[in-house]
Amino acid sequence: MSPVRQMRAIGEFRGGWEGRRGKLVQIESRLSSTASKADEWVPVNPGTEGILALGIANALVKYHLYDAGFVAAHVAGFDSWPANEGSQPNGFRALVIQEYDAPKVAEITGVPVETITRLAHEFAISGPSLAVTEGPRFSSGNPAFSSVAVQALNALAGNIEKPGGVLTCPAPPLTWWPPVKGSGSKPDAAAKPALDSVKSLARAVWESQPYRINALFLLGANPLFSSLDFPRETITRVPFVVSFASQLDETATYADLILPDCSSLERWELRTSTPGFALSSVAVGSPVLAPRYDSRPCAQVVLDLAHSFEGDIAAAFPWNEPSQALNELLTGLYDSPHGEIFTERFQSEYLRPEMRAWDWPARKYASRDEFVKRLLAHGGWVDPRYAYGDYRAGLQTPSGKFELPRLLATEASSPVFSGGDLSGYPFELCIFQPLALIGQAAANLPYLQEISGGPQVWPWDSFLEINPKTAASLGIENGDWVIVQSPAGRLKTRALLYAGAMPNVVNLPLGQGHTALGRWAKGRGVNPLELLANGAAPRVRVSKA
Amino acid sequence: MQAEAREQDSLLFNSVLKTGPGYYALLFVLISTVLWGVYAYITQFQEGLGVTGLNRPVYWGFYITNFVFFVGISHAGTLISAILRLCQAEWRRPITRMAETITVMVLFFGAGNILLDLGRPDRVLYVFRYSHFTSPLMWDVISITTYLVTSTTYLYVAMIPDIALLRDRTGGLRRAFYSALALGWTGSERQHRTLQIAIAILAIVVIPIAVSVHTVVSWVFAMTIQPMWHSSIFGPYFVAGAIYSGIAALLLTMALLRKVYHLEDYLKEIHFDYLGELLLVMTLLWLYFTFAEYITTYYGHDPVEMRVFWEKITGRYAVFFWVMVFADFVLPFALLCNRKTRTIPGIVVASISVCIGMWLERFTIVVPTLVNPRLPWARGLYIPSWVEVSLFAAFLAGFILLYTIFVKLFPIVSIWEMREGREQGVAEAVDRIKSYLPEETPG
Amino acid sequence: MPRWGMIIDLDKCTGCRACVVACKQENNIAPSTEDQADQGRLISWMNVLTVVEGDYPNTRVRFLPMLCQQCDKPPCVRVCPVGATYKSTQQGIVGQIYPRCIGCRYCASACPYQVKYFNWFAPRWPEELSPPRNPDVAIRPKGVIEKCTFCIQRLQRARDQAVIENRQVRSEGEYVPACVESCPAKAMYFGDLDDQSTEIAKLTRSARAYRVMEELGTEPNVIYLKEGEWIAG
């Protein structure tokens, strides 16, 4: 995620195009910074965003506001689920009509019927329109369900692979390194499945499935603080833990070895496929400072480690330095018939409408080396063309169409957390992340602590956002100490009365409450994840301390 | 006659020539408090103004309040001395010196509070080196300096004959001291005439200066655009308030000195009664100005000003405001308008009440406006720290200390004026009153 | 004579506060501690205010970057007893002379925008952030007032360069304060308001342009562009 990119995009969005500008509707359980910039904020009960999306889909279908041609040609599962196994209702259309009518959705989400209908109309007629979601991370909703439901709206509006719609970013033609083969004693090591979530990692640690974890290397990750699935007991079971953290965070405290990584100003970096940027691109960061302290780039450590082995592993890493590996990657771009190094020409000409349709033939350079040198000097490469309407490339599904999955029919509105007596916990808890504390080590930077909180600034501490009327009913005033209690945990923090908080929802920021990470982060504020430990429901009760 | 007179007023020399244990005890207490204040100030000087309770947006608090308060009290001298002298009110005679001394002493502490308030007191002389004359604070500097110089001169000049008396009564080092200050006073006709002219000129000159002092002090606030500061009434309001608190302070001083030095024959009931009536007039004048200020604000209903208004009437500073109203109007009025309570004890209670009330008035002018800036953030709160409270106490102690030392050095009741009153004043007054009435027809 | 001014497009401002941090870095402002922040003594020459209006669900939240407005009729200049704050007739910037300030805080009390900041203590940097980075900016001692100067040190550099090249400082683009430079949403513009050819001068004539508390007659040189509205169709 690039906050700078996002800000720039909002700025450009507000600037509009040829005297018009788009409408931003923010559907969220609290009035966040984005909602502050939005033209409309739709308060919705936490975790029910997916249900609202399907309610809007219901209106789109009911009032024939969807792009029938697009749906017929490029969407599967609308009239009936593929490989119909008799699950009812059959097909997306039937599902939304039967299960997600406006009054029912209004009841669950708290969004009035008129709003649902109006949003559907606006979404349909203001083409191109786009529905985007991050998926609620720590709320009671089902994140997969929400994401899919929201994307379905884009499919219904026919906004896929069209200008202004959902675009899939093609991978840039980098020369990828040959795959690592297994070494002599463990020939199929490389074929083992990768663990793609903290949860699966924890499972591997505890159950040795799909394999045992003997060593854990941590780069840019602090699961003891930021994840529910990796408590202290888990990491102590790992025989050997190495951390590349440059600030002593909670997880690094358990490391057997800490090899501080360099900061981004001191090392080589590569980024492809920036979220929100549809063009095929490669961004390269080069070191501008010599390392200030005793640190080394993680990539260098990996290379040195690989060279300490023999045979296939050492052979798979034939570079002495990360820059050599990077150079090799970038040479593939030299051969591409299209594309442009980030130059002033690109930045100024790309915004001209007629230039979008250009062929953008690649410039000729004297040699591969000269090309790579210029690329590194300018910071990256981009292919300014986008093949709109290339559904085969964009929708890489078995049917070649956008598949409205049956997922929606089965685990529909079941909350992830269920069971237990929640009657004593009247408030939903919404956990959000203020922009200033998004970085891994942000809490330990005084200048960021000074501006943390959001959209209101509440520096140097945690706070509980609570609706003023709700607070009045509990006898809580602004700045009072309050106890927030969930089935799993109890926290004490200060109340911030905020008219952007829903009456039945309280909000806690993520990012404070560190027990390590340095003198400015340690022991400051509270970590709302403690309220969700052990699979507890994100429901709390609040009282004055 | 002369010898009798001398004996009659010998009581007035006691304060200078005799010292009891009570005096030393008082000195001890005062000096200790002052030393504690020095310690507090050193802390502030070394660490910075952060040791106070001031913050953003409340940049001014105790120090500025005390500045205005102390400078206000300095108006006691002017009123009594100068105005009553010019009006030829005979009852002023025992009071003038006490009043003038208050003025001179308290002005040091008034201006001193500005020094306490500065972030860079080491640069205080820059106001003379880089004077920027559009600033009301600069006008303050000029005005207060002039007032201080004039009042000191006025006090000194009027003391010369008494210094000569002391010179003649003492010996050794003390005699040398008084000799130097007496400027060769022999009491001749010519010297008396020069003295009277000098006093008359100074009396006339000091009145507009005094009025200007508290006017420009008020203009520090009124010349900004801040809500409930920017008021055209501030000039006269502050002057009236200054005279009010000045009279109260003077009454307190009179009562104390009367008690301690047994001056019942000189400071009679009638003196307290007259000043008490004047205090009553000022009570009503204070009420008039305050009422005019608040009702104008209320009727204007400017939202920014109303925030400050409600902060004072019902908000966080309501306690200060209403205690002020009680102390500045309700209690003094009740005590002073009734002859039965306008006794010396009653007047003393009223004066204490007025002093407290006037301090509160300064506080409720300075702080609530700063706590409520126009823009909707930085709402503040001000809680003074131990440094500010200590320095307030130390300055009060310092003022009393200097006064106490003065009382030891010079007679606190003007002896020569008392004698002049006895010898000439009575006759002059009788003649004056006769001149008001139609000529007596013979027969 | 250039009249340097700034335009802030409130429509684009996202409240990210990058400008706040950039200003502190550029101008050697020490980070505050929690106590100082609690006491309201945080120094933030550029400060983004969050304004919350209305009741749920019709709440409206907006961001207002507030910095010294560099008024043409500054209330602070008039009340300084030693002339430590002054209006530059040549550049249009309200300057601050740290070695002359006596710390009476009259200017801070008189400023209606609350953008003058006082050093209650001597500034202290944590060891890791020492020394303060920018050699062009003086470190203010305790007891003096400071405020935004439109990064006058950058103007000085631009002027020096212009002198070498025997020309004037360009009206736009050559001299840019740290906050304007850092804004990711590109919501801030800076330049000579008197040069009608600049983009900033054109924006001052926008229908959305306004100045904060214009009615006070301070004539600020920081102009805000009101938020726009989405019109259907």
Q: Could you read off the pLDDT of A354-364 as tens digits, one per residue?
A: 776 677 777 77
For A236-253, how does the pLDDT look when each residue is reduced to its tens digit (9 = 90+)? 999 999 999 988 999 999
Question: Is there a domain that residue B421 lies in?
Answer: yes
Identity of the residue in C39, C79, C83 whose CB atom sits nearest the CB atom of B55:
C39
Helices (H), B223-302: 234-261, 269-300
The pLDDT confidence band at residue A189, using thresholds 50, 70 and 90, is low
For B138-172, how does the pLDDT look when each residue is reduced to its tens digit (9 = 90+)? 999 999 999 999 999 999 999 999 999 888 888 88
Question: Is there a domain that residue B26 lies in?
Answer: yes
Residue type, C97: I
Whether the CB of C122 is below 8 Å from some CB of chain B: the reply is yes
Whether the CB of C80 is below 8 Å from some CB of chain A: the reply is no
Q: Whole-angstrom Cα distance, residue B358 to residue B243?
A: 11
Q: Map residue C135 onto helix, strand or coil.
A: coil
Question: Is there a domain that residue B430 lies in?
Answer: no
Please choose, from the candidates A360, A365, A312, the residue with its C-alpha nearest in 3D space to the C-alpha of residue A334: A365
Whether the CB of C54 is below 8 Å from some CB of chain B: the reply is no
Residue A3 C-beta-side C-alpha neighbours within 13 Å: 16
Q: Map residue A287 onto helix, strand or coil.
A: coil
Q: Whole-angstrom Cα distance, residue A390 to residue C191?
A: 45
Domain count, chain C: 1
Residue B210: give the domain boundaries.
19-425
Q: Which pLDDT does position A406 carry in this prediction? A: 64
Whether the CB of C190 is below 8 Å from some CB of chain A: the reply is no
Percent of chain B scoring above 90 in pLDDT:
69
Q: How far is C135 from chain A (nearest CA, A)?
A: 19
Please choose, from the candidates A502, A280, A311, the residue with its C-alpha nearest in 3D space to the C-alpha of residue A394: A280
Please choose, from the candidates C22, C48, C39, C66, the residue with its C-alpha nearest in 3D space to the C-alpha of residue C121: C39
Q: Map residue B332 onto helix, strand or coil.
A: helix
Cβ of C119 and B380 within 8 Å? no
Structure-token pair, residue A3: 């906050």
Q: Whole-angstrom Cα distance, residue A390 to residue A409?
A: 29
Question: Is there a domain that residue B9 lies in?
Answer: no
Q: Whole-angstrom Cα distance, residue C78 to residue B209?
A: 24
Q: Whole-angstrom Cα distance, residue B131 to residue B111?
A: 17
What are phi and psi for residue A433, nearest 5 degrees? -120, 110
Q: Are C211 and C230 in contact (CB under 8 A)?
A: no
A31 CB-near residues (< 8 Å, 6+ apart): A41, A43, A455, A498, A499, A500, A501, C59, C61
List the pLDDT tens digit at each of the 233 positions of chain C: 899 999 999 999 999 999 999 999 999 999 988 888 888 888 999 999 999 999 998 999 999 999 999 999 999 999 999 999 999 988 889 999 999 999 999 999 999 999 999 999 999 888 888 777 799 999 999 999 999 999 999 999 999 999 999 999 999 999 999 999 999 999 999 999 999 999 999 999 999 999 999 999 999 999 999 988 776 65
Q: Whole-angstrom Cα distance, residue C155 to residue C163?
A: 12
Q: How far is A84 from chain C (nearest CA, A)?
A: 41
Q: DSSP label at B212? A: H
Q: What is the dihedral of CA B316, B318, B320, B324, to 10 degrees?
A: 170
Percent of chain A scoring above 70 in pLDDT:
92
Q: Which residues is A465 bridged to in the sheet?
A: A496, A507
Cβ of B120 and C102 within 8 Å? yes
Structure-token pair, residue A36: 């502050």
Identity of the residue in C79, C84, C122 whose CB atom sits nearest the CB atom of B224:
C79
Q: Whole-angstrom Cα distance, residue C161 to residue C169?
A: 8
Q: Whole-angstrom Cα distance, residue A266 to residue A322?
A: 12
CA C100 to chain centre: 21
Structure-token pair, residue C221: 């040189």
CB burial of residue A447 (10 Å; 0-12, 13-18, 19+): buried
- Where on the phi/psi map is residue C169: left (φ > 0), alpha (ψ -120 to 50), or beta? beta
pLDDT at A518 over 60: yes
Q: Which pLDDT does position A421 carry in this prediction? A: 65
B98 CB-near residues (< 8 Å, 6+ apart): B250, B253, B254, B257, B412, B413
- Measured between its terminal Cα atoms, the distance across chain C in Å is 45
What are phi and psi for residue B25, nearest 5 degrees? -60, -45
**Mutation site for A-interface testing, chosen from C16, C23, C62 by largest number of A Cβ within 10 Å:** C16
Q: Whole-angstrom Cα distance, residue B401 to residue B407?
A: 10
Average pLDDT over residues A381-404: 82
Q: Are A198 and A218 in contact (CB under 8 A)?
A: no
Q: Are C179 and C188 in contact (CB under 8 A)?
A: yes
Residue C187: give the domain boundaries.
4-232
Structure-token pair, residue B274: 């007259």
Hey, which of A145-149, A226-230, B266-270, C160-164 has the most confident mean pLDDT? C160-164
**Mutation site for A-interface testing, chosen from C8, C17, C48, C53 by largest number of A Cβ within 10 Å:** C17
For B178-226, how does the pLDDT look when each residue is reduced to its tens digit (9 = 90+)? 998 888 888 888 999 999 999 999 999 999 999 999 999 999 999 999 9
Whether the CB of C184 is below 8 Å from some CB of chain A: the reply is yes
Q: Whole-angstrom Cα distance, residue A64 to residue A157?
A: 11
A348 CB-near residues (< 8 Å, 6+ apart): none
Residue type, A24: L
Number of other CB atoms surrounding residue A358 within 10 Å: 14
Cβ of A502 and C25 within 8 Å? no
Q: DSSP label at C114? A: -
Q: Are B355 and B334 in contact (CB under 8 A)?
A: no
For B401-432, how does the pLDDT look when each residue is reduced to its tens digit (9 = 90+)? 999 999 999 999 988 888 888 888 888 889 88
Q: Which pLDDT does position C90 carry in this prediction? A: 86
Q: Are A149 and A57 in contact (CB under 8 A)?
A: yes
Q: DSSP label at A279? A: S
Q: Which pLDDT does position C128 carry in this prediction? A: 83
Q: What is the dihedral of CA B279, B285, B287, B293, to 10 degrees?
A: -150
Cβ of B374 and C112 within 8 Å? yes
Q: Are B70 and B392 in contact (CB under 8 A)?
A: no
How does C208-217 read in b/e, with b if 16+ C-beta sit within 10 Å?
Answer: eeebbeeebe
- Chain C residues in contact with B130 (beta carbon < 8 A): 82-84, 100
Structure-token pair, residue A117: 């209908």
pLDDT at B238 over 90: yes
Q: Map residue A160 onto helix, strand or coil.
A: strand
Q: Which CATH number do you get for residue B181?
A: 1.20.1630.10
Residue type, C204: T
Q: Map residue B15 onto helix, strand or coil.
A: helix
pLDDT at A386 over 50: yes
How does C37-66 read in b/e, with b if 16+ C-beta sit within 10 Å?
Answer: bebbbbbbbbbbbbebeeebbebebbbbbb
Q: Give me the sign of the Cα torsion angle A367, A369, A374, A380.
A: positive
> Mind giving me the DSSP string for A322-361?
HHHHHHHHHHHHHT-SB-EES-HHHHHHTTSHHHHTS--B
Cβ of C37 and A451 within 8 Å? no
For B26-77, how does the pLDDT look when each residue is reduced to its tens digit (9 = 90+)? 999 999 999 999 999 999 999 999 999 999 899 999 999 999 999 999 988 8
Interface of B with C (CB under 8 A): 47-50, 54-60, 114, 117-121, 123-124, 126-127, 129-132, 134-138, 141, 220, 223-226, 370, 373-378, 380
pLDDT at A418 over 60: no
Q: Which C-chain residues 21-50 have CB contacts (< 8 A) with chain B?
A: 39-42, 49
Residue type, A296: R
Question: Is there a domain that residue B10 lies in?
Answer: no
Whether the CB of C12 is below 8 Å from some CB of chain A: the reply is yes
Whether the CB of C39 is below 8 Å from some CB of chain A: the reply is no
Cβ of A122 and C232 within 8 Å? yes
Question: Is there a domain that residue B221 lies in?
Answer: yes
Which chains lie within 8 Å of chain C at 3 or more CB pairs, if any?
A, B
The pTM of the full predicted model, rounded to 2 decimals, is 0.90
pLDDT at A298 over 90: yes
Q: Whole-angstrom Cα distance, residue B91 to residue B102?
A: 18
Q: Which is it for strands A505-509 and A427-432: parallel, antiparallel or unpaired?
A: parallel
Identity of the residue in B47, B58, B119 whose CB atom sits nearest the CB atom of C144:
B119
What are phi and psi for residue B433, nearest 5 degrees? -65, -40
CA C50 to chain centre: 17
pLDDT at A416 over 70: no
Average pLDDT over residues B314-318: 93
Cβ of A435 and C31 within 8 Å? no
The pLDDT confidence band at residue A4, using thresholds 50, 70 and 90, is confident
Q: How many helices (H) and strands (E) does chain B have?
A: 20, 0
Q: Which pLDDT does position C231 carry in this prediction? A: 67
- The helix (run of H) or strand (run of E) holding residue A103 is helix A102-109
B43 CB-near residues (< 8 Å, 6+ apart): B51, B387
Q: Are A150 and A52 in contact (CB under 8 A)?
A: no
Q: Whole-angstrom Cα distance, residue A82 to residue B235?
A: 88
Q: Which CATH number do you get for residue C14?
A: 3.30.70.20
What are phi and psi for residue A293, nearest 5 degrees? -120, -170
Identity of the residue in C41, C83, C110 whose CB atom sits nearest the CB atom of B130:
C83
Domain count, chain B: 1
Radius of gyration of the CA atoms of chain B, in A: 23
Interface size between B and C, measured as CB pairs under 8 A:
136
Q: Which pLDDT does position A415 carry in this prediction? A: 46
- The helix (run of H) or strand (run of E) holding residue C190 is strand C188-192
